[in-house]
């Protein structure tokens, strides 16, 4: 296993897309680790001078390069040798570090879960100071929030026939999942659709409530250390993004309809339970009703998200 470092520079970042033909900026071996630096936001969301908040010179350099694109600033893609369509990329999130002493939250008048309901004619941008030592953020009205940073966007290349896919919507390749459980120590599984998998990440969040209802979380810079393992041929069993923590297994699904997203996430959880136990599908369905917590991951990315959580200890039968 080798360790690699991928800094965010104009040559290693891209705005808002996943694409099977996107050339990798780093190629690593199966089982290697990569520490990946990310930034969030364009010039319009940078804190004003004199605010006491520090913008990294690297972020200024990236923005000055005027790289074309929209949505999220992503670092990558990283190619993993040996990853091929039909495999699954296992991504172990070993460490997440805060990369700035500030973050921001934006309200857009025609977006979010309640479009048009707030009396604002333009975007409301709130800059929020971050105490990196104590991992807290202080809101303008005095509330202090504990931080549990995670990457809102983590994904691989989509199927080649899809062409370029925006980072706004989460889909089969991952992308803008906004799942706050994918923090340090969690493991993400993504089906591989292109040679090398082509992993990119960004959209750092200091904290977020399930739903992300006003369209943004505490957007900030993060640096993550990931271990990448290729599970050969596992795509026959793992066909949708899924995750786990030390204590829980997590199903997830995205759809324009929350009802449909829930149904698919439920079917996926039933399958995951049956993979890890010898109970029947009907019994797994009952266990879901009795013990699985389903929640709205986010309701603002066109493709809405639902995730289910089950404690692993409940699968230790007998």
What is the helix (H) or strand (E) element at residue 291, kind and residue range? helix 281-291
Rounded Cα distance, 67 and 278, in Å:
52
Q: What is the pLDDT of residues 235-256, one digit of tens each?
A: 999 999 999 999 999 999 999 9
Q: How many beta carbons lie within 10 A of that of residue 251, not counting itself?
A: 26
Q: Is 314 helix (H, G, I), strand (E, B) or coil?
A: helix
Model pLDDT, residue 121: 72
Rounded Cα distance, 230 and 28, in Å:
11
Model pLDDT, residue 123: 85
Q: Give the global pTM.
A: 0.96
Model pLDDT, residue 317: 64
Q: How far is CA 314 from CA 158, 271, 273, 277, 286, in A?
A: 34, 15, 10, 10, 13
Model pLDDT, residue 122: 79
- Structure tokens given for 71: 């949505």
Model pLDDT, residue 118: 81
Q: What is the pLDDT of residues 42-70, one digit of tens each?
A: 999 999 988 899 999 999 999 999 999 98
Q: Which string of b and e fits 254-291 if b means at least 16 CB within 10 Å?
A: bbeeeeebbebbbbbbbbbbeeeeeeeeeebbebbeee
Rounded Cα distance, 3 and 8, in Å:
17
Model pLDDT, residue 94: 98
Residue for token digits 């360790």? 3
Q: What is the pLDDT of residues 8-44, one digit of tens each?
A: 999 999 999 999 999 999 999 999 999 999 999 999 9
Per-position DSSP letters for 108-128, written without gaps between them: -TT-SSSTT-S--SS-EEEEE
Phi, psi angle pair for 125, to nearest 5°: -110, 120
Q: What is the DSSP letter of 206?
A: S
Q: Give the lowest-confidence range in 110-114, 140-144, 183-187, 250-254.
A: 110-114
Whether 170 has a pLDDT exceeding 70, the answer reads yes
Q: What is the pLDDT of residues 276-313, one digit of tens each?
A: 999 999 999 999 999 999 999 999 999 999 999 999 99
Cβ atoms of 249 and 276 closer than 8 Å: yes
What is the band of 182 on the pLDDT scale with cuts at 50, 70, 90?
Answer: very high
- Structure tokens given for 200: 């990119």
| Packing angle, helices 281-291 and 258-276, rounded to 10 | 120
- DSSP strand pairing (73-80 vs 102-107): unpaired
Whether 318 has a pLDDT exceeding 70, the answer reads no
Sorted by where each starts, the structural domains of the chain and their CATH numbers stand as 3-99+147-236 (2.60.120.580), 247-315 (3.10.28.20)
Within 8 A by CB and 6+ apart from 263, the residues are none
Q: What is the pLDDT of residues 115-163, one digit of tens each?
A: 988 877 778 999 999 999 999 999 999 999 999 999 999 999 999 999 9
């Amino acid at each position: 296993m080798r360790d690699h470092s991928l800094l965010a520079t104009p040559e290693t970042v891209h705005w808002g897309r996943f694409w099977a033909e996107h050339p990798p900026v780093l190629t690593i071996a199966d089982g290697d680790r990569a520490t990946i630096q990310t930034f969030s936001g364009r010039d319009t969301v940078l804190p004003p001078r004199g605010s006491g908040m520090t913008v990294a010179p690297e972020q200024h350099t990236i923005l000055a390069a005027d790289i074309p694109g929209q949505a999220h600033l992503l670092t990558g893609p990283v190619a993993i040798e040996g990853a091929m369509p039909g495999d699954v990329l296992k991504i172990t999130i070993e460490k997440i570090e805060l990369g700035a002493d500030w973050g921001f939250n934006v309200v857009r008048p025609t977006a979010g879960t309640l479009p048009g309901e707030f009396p604002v004619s333009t975007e409301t941008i709130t800059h929020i100071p971050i105490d990196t030592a104590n991992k807290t953020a202080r809101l303008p009205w005095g509330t202090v929030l504990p931080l549990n940073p995670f990457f809102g966007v983590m994904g691989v290349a989509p199927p080649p026939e899809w062409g370029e896919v925006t980072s706004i919507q989460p889909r089969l390749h991952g992308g803008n999942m906004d799942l706050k459980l994918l923090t340090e120590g969690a493991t993400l599984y993504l089906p591989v659709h292109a040679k090398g998998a082509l992993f990119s990440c960004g959209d750092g969040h200091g904290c977020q409530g399930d739903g992300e209802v006003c369209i943004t979380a505490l957007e900030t810079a993060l640096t993550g250390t990931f271990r990448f393992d290729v599970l050969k041929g596992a795509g026959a069993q793992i066909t949708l993004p899924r995750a786990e923590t030390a204590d829980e297994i997590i199903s997830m699904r995205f759809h324009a309809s929350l009802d449909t997203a829930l149904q698919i996430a439920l079917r996926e959880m039933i399958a995951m339970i049956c993979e890890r136990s010898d109970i029947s599908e009907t019994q797994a369905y009952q266990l879901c009703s009795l013990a699985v917590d389903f929640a709205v991951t986010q309701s603002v990315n066109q493709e809405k998200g639902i995730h289910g959580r089950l404690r692993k200890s409940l699968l230790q039968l007998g």
